[in-house]
Amino acid sequence: MREFDYRRADDVSGAVALLDADPDARYLGGGTNLVDLMKSGVERPARLVDVRALPLDRIEPAGDGGLRVGATVTNSDLAAHPVIRRDYPALAQAVLAGASGQLRNMATVGGNLLQRTRCGYFTDVTKPCNKRVPGSGCPAVEGEHHNHAVLGASGHCVAVHPSDMGVALTAFDAVVSYETADGPGQSPLADFYLPVGDTPHRETVLPPGALITHVTLPPAPVAARSRYRKVRERASYAFAIGSVAAALDVGGGVVRESRLAFGAVASRPWRARAAERVLNGAPATAEYFAAAADAELAAARPLPDNGYKVTLMRNLVVAVLSELAEEAAR
């Protein structure tokens, strides 16, 4: 592998300065994805700026009643945090549904959001891939794509975002804060990932050299009654083929508020706003849950081998919302 320079940053501004917006430099969090990509030649950074020692490892109350999660908080610590478990249970469940214990001990919140797709063409440097080498083509469209996107994809890229955590964060309107040499910035997670279009290599709104510092969870009482369900091809240690983060507030048999996001169906965690519009104010019954799923999935454009995902997501939405409605009725 390519020789690289390794630097350890002590503070945020120092980290940003060390990276110096150099396109050949990368921030190193837990390294659970970046180091793999360096070994396989997908990433060949000249410099790594290790941000694990930065004072961003806290989960603190935000001013408005929400939570501010530092970018270097590990997945394990996030999932174990008592307030997360109480107020945003789907987030804890999503994190625990991902990777393995060892990986969760290393992986960080900031790194999780910036992890790359596990599309087998992207990770194999002997194959074309528009995300890795713009303009080289997307073999997945005609090739292996049974776990590729059904929503929001384009003919240029049909890869899916692998995060579980991000699905729950998207459902809960999380906001990403970052630092750049020109000062701080913010982006709602829902707008954080760019549409695929014909530029699949451009993945987020982050300016060059930006370092994610926090992810803020706004207060969301509905999130206390939430759930994450992940379907994968083995019971553990596999990426989703479909997942749902859902929260439901039901009163008098009617949905007062809902949150719904899908994983493993698009290039980003997919907020199901069309489904939420159907749900809010509707009777909390399987019939309406299915109608909500259908409203969201009407935009699905499956490929020959991934059409099952439409059925899977519909069934998952109905199953998870039904469980939440049952719990609310108890």
Partner 1 sequence: MTTATTGAVGTAHTRVEGRDKVTGAARYAGEIPFAGLVHGWLVLSTVARGRILSVETGPVLGMPGVLTVLHHGNAPRLDTDYVGMLGVPPDPTAAVFQNDRVPHAGWPVALVVAETPEQAREAAEALVVTYEREPHDIELFAGRPDAYAADGHMPAVTEKGDLEAELAACAHVVDVEYTTPEEHHAMMEPHAATALWDGGRLEVVDSNQGATWVADELARMFSLDASAVRVRSEHIGGGFGSKGLRAHQVSAVMAATALQRPVRVVLTRRQMFSLTGYRSPTVQRVRLGAGPDGRLRALEHRSLNQTSTVWEFVEPSAGVARVMYDADAHRTSNEVVRLDVPSPTWMRGPGEAPGSFALEAAFDELAERCGIDPVELRLRNDPERGPVSGLPFAGRNLAACFREGARRFGWADRDPRPGTRREGRWLLGTGTAAASFPSGALPSTAAVTAEADGTYTVRIAAADIGTGARTALTLVAADALRVAPDRVRVRIGDSDFGPAGIAGGSMGTRSWAWAVTAAAEELRGRLVPGGAVPPEGITVRSDTTAALGALAQKERHSFGAQFAEVAVDVATGEVRVRRMLGVFAAGRIVNPLTARGQLVGGMTWGISMALHEEAVRDRAFGGLYGADLAGYHVATHADVPTVEADWVDDPDPDDPVGIKGIGEVGIVGAAAAVANAVWHATGVRHRNLPIRPDRVLRAGGTGV
Contacts with partner 1 by CB under 8 A lie at 1-3, 40-41, 118, 120-121, 123-124, 126-127, 139, 142-144, 146, 231-239, 241-242, 306, 308, 311-312, 315-316, 318-319
| Nearest CB to partner 1, comparing residues 1 and 133 | 1
| Nearest CB to partner 1, comparing residues 162 and 166 | 162
| Nearest CB to partner 1, comparing residues 82 and 330 | 330
| Residue appearing with tokens 């917006």 | 21
The CA distance from 208 to 180, in Å, is 8
Q: Work out whether strand 240-251 and strand 226-232 pair parallel, antiparallel, or are unpaired.
A: antiparallel
* Smallest separation, CB 239 to partner 1 (Å): 8
CB neighbours (10 Å) of residue 64? Answer: 8
| Nearest CB to partner 1, comparing residues 120 and 195 | 120
Give one DSSP letter per residue of 21-86, joined into a string: T-TTEEEESS-TTHHHHHHTTS---SEEEE-TTSS---EEE-TTSSEEEETT-BHHHHHH-HHHHH
| Nearest CB to partner 1, comparing residues 15 and 119 | 119
* Smallest separation, CB 214 to partner 1 (Å): 29
The CA distance from 214 to 327, in Å, is 32
Which of 118, 103, 88, 110 minimizes the C-alpha distance to 232? 118
| Nearest CB to partner 1, comparing residues 148 and 214 | 148
Which one-letter DSSP state was computed for residue 159? -
| Nearest CB to partner 1, comparing residues 42 and 175 | 42
The CA distance from 25 to 315, in Å, is 43
Q: From edge to edge, which strands make up the β-sheet containing 254-263?
A: 226-232, 240-251, 254-263, 270-271
Which one-letter DSSP state was computed for residue 182? T
| Nearest CB to partner 1, comparing residues 138 and 247 | 138
* Smallest separation, CB 262 to partner 1 (Å): 14
* Smallest separation, CB 141 to partner 1 (Å): 11
* Smallest separation, CB 38 to partner 1 (Å): 11
Which of 49, 46, 44, 53 minimizes the C-alpha distance to 19? 49
100 contacts 245 by C-beta, under 8 angstroms? no
